Amino acid sequence: MKSLCIVLLCILMQHNTFSDPVAIIVSKNTLLSNITVNEVQDIYYGKIAVLSNGLVPLPIDYCCDNELRDDFYRKLLGKSLSKMTGYWSTLVFTGQVTPPRQLPSVSVVIYAIQENPTAIGFSYLAPVKNRQDVKILYILP
């Protein structure tokens, strides 16, 4: 019985049952001091061009299909990565909006956020929680 519990625990850990929270991050130099989950949802659905404080957000995403992207879209929007890819493909095809800028890694996303005070992105919490160059605005459980 003990070995069965260990095997089940290993399987659950591999399937990201205990995943890190996802942090919504911005530059430490941004004028944006807080954000609601609804605003973040609207940004990543392409439904918001200007925030209530007048800032024009530049959403950052990742260009590769990975666990972080999948976790982000599932936790924020309740959609799988494949559903979001289809959603954005349709919007881009119809010319309605521009999708989030796609970058290859967390380090590149953090650099882009540091360079642009209106950029907004996401990362697992652990790599950014003690950084002084980004500000965490919201944490998705």
Neighbours of 134 (CB within 10 A): 23
Q: Quick one: 72 exposed, middle or buried, by C-beta within 10 A (0-12, 13-18, 19+)? A: buried
pLDDT digits (tens, 9 = 90+) for 121-138: 999 999 999 999 999 999
Whole-angstrom Cα distance, residue 42 to residue 33?
17
* Best CA proximity match to 43, nearest among 124, 123, 119, 140: 119
The pLDDT value given to residue 18: 53
Which SS3 state, helix, strand or coil, does residue 18 take?
Answer: coil
Q: Where are the domains of the chain?
A: 20-140
Confidence of residue 9 (pLDDT cuts 50, 70, 90): very low
Q: Is 99 left (phi over 0), alpha (psi -120 to 50) or beta?
A: beta
pLDDT for 45 beyond 60:
yes
Residues whose CB is less than 8 angstroms from the CB of residue 115 and which lie 6 or more positions away in sequence, other chains included: 27
pLDDT top residue among 120 and 98: 120
Give the pLDDT confidence of 52-108 residue by residue, as tens digits: 788 899 999 999 889 999 999 999 999 999 999 999 999 988 887 889 999 999 999
Q: Coil, strand or helix: which one is 59?
A: strand
Cβ-proximal residues to 16 (8 Å cutoff; 6+ apart), any chain: 67, 71
Give pLDDT, residue 49: 84
Q: Which is the CATH superfamily of the domain at 20-140?
A: Periplasmic binding protein-like II (3.40.190.10)
Confidence at residue 44, expressed as pLDDT on a 0 to 100 scale: 95
Kindly indicate the confidence band of residue 7, based on its pLDDT and cuts at 50, 70 and 90.
very low
| Count of CB atoms situated within 10 Å of the CB of 118 | 16
Helix, strand or coil for residue 131?
Answer: coil
Q: What is the pLDDT of residue 1?
A: 53
- Across 40-44, average pLDDT: 95
